[in-house]
Structure 1
């Protein structure tokens, strides 16, 4: 094989790895959001803990979320914090996350970074409901060798900043 062909193959392999890394980050965010929805979009055997590295960081940033969530380190602490908002805890009656404005702008073999705008529609057990808009910035790393899903990437640093919130009300449908 000539040198130009070898360089082309190396470049194509790098581009393919970047595309696969971006797709893995996108899948990981979709799983995270589905597991945080109420009712959960979980499949058998899935858990939030499987989405994070052992030394992951989850933090609220900005005026509203720095004081509400702070800086949480470690998979177990992150799962414990998130579990306070999920069944069987009585917090959300319904909770749905929508991701938009995706930008996965850095993918290397060792790391990926993505940004999203999230809309969260929440109904609480006390009858209140609100829409929340937040900016998410998330860093990912490849799952360690020997993981059940070798193509998966794990969350290593999750940052969320609340941009706005608004109350809302869903009227029941009239009976037919």
Structure 2
């Protein structure tokens, strides 16, 4: 007598639903991390495109809402170690941003736009890591211009209320390149993109 082969058992409806829910959770977490990182870059652009931002202190307040209280902001590598250093905790990170925007700059920064690319996000439960390369042109009031590129290795955590926040911003220089004097012939003094 020969044994009749049995068909492989199919997963139960409950197991299938659980698997699908886990996959949806990961996709939603990736989307949330992507939005947090994009919002951070958006708020760092000059001119700031966020409607209703009264001044740079208000901009910093909005950026700080994206960070956990125990977060770290650091520049690493041979070029960024000395330029940015390491700020640990919300107060130190706020001081870092105040050092950038808190004082009248001469020459003034007229344009700074962040372009994110080469995204890779890994989610592990309530934590995640995102890798990006970003580029940003800079234009100053004296006509000096440059292009920066850096790699980002940032971490995120889902907080008790379900919001994803940044726990670490870690940036490493790829290159800094001078651009031709006054390379941009047309740029806005203020952004009205999202104004109603």
Other-structure match for 2:143:
127
| Distance in 2 (alpha carbons) for counterparts of 1:84 and 1:41 | 21
Other-structure match for 2:21:
13
| Distance in 2 (alpha carbons) for counterparts of 1:43 and 1:141 | 27
Query: Is the contact made by 1:86 and 1:92 (CA closer than 8 Å) also made in structure 2?
Result: no
SS in 1 for 2:12: helix
Q: Which runs of 5+ in 1 are unaligned?
A: none
Please give the TM-score of this superposition, normalised by the length of structure 1: 0.86
Other-structure match for 1:48:
63
| Residue 144 of structure 1, CA deviation | 3.0
For the pair 1:68 / 2:96, whether they are aligned, the reply is no
| Residue 67 of structure 1, CA deviation | 1.3
Q: Which of 21, 30, 47 pairs up with 1:39?
A: 47
For the pair 1:110 / 2:121, whether they are aligned, the reply is no
Query: Is the contact made by 1:83 and 1:89 (CA closer than 8 Å) also made in structure 2?
Result: no
Which structure has more strand as a fraction of its residues?
1
| Distance in 1 (alpha carbons) for counterparts of 2:138 and 2:102 | 14
For the pair 1:27 / 2:27, whether they are aligned, the reply is no
| Distance in 2 (alpha carbons) for counterparts of 1:81 and 1:171 | 28
Query: Is the contact made by 1:36 and 1:86 (CA closer than 8 Å) also made in structure 2?
Result: no
| Distance in 2 (alpha carbons) for counterparts of 1:43 and 1:19 | 29
| Distance in 2 (alpha carbons) for counterparts of 1:9 and 1:159 | 37
| Residue 131 of structure 1, CA deviation | 0.3
Other-structure match for 1:137:
153
SS in 2 for 1:172: coil
Please give the TM-score of this superposition, normalised by the length of structure 2: 0.78
Cα deviation code 1:27-70 (max 9, x no counterpart): 00111001111111224476111010001001001110011111
RMSD between aligned residues: 2.0
Query: Using a 3 Å threshold, how does the CA distance of structure 1 residues 110 and 172 change in structure 2: closer, same or farther?
Result: closer
Query: Using a 3 Å threshold, how does the CA distance of structure 1 residues 88 and 68 change in structure 2: closer, same or farther?
Result: closer
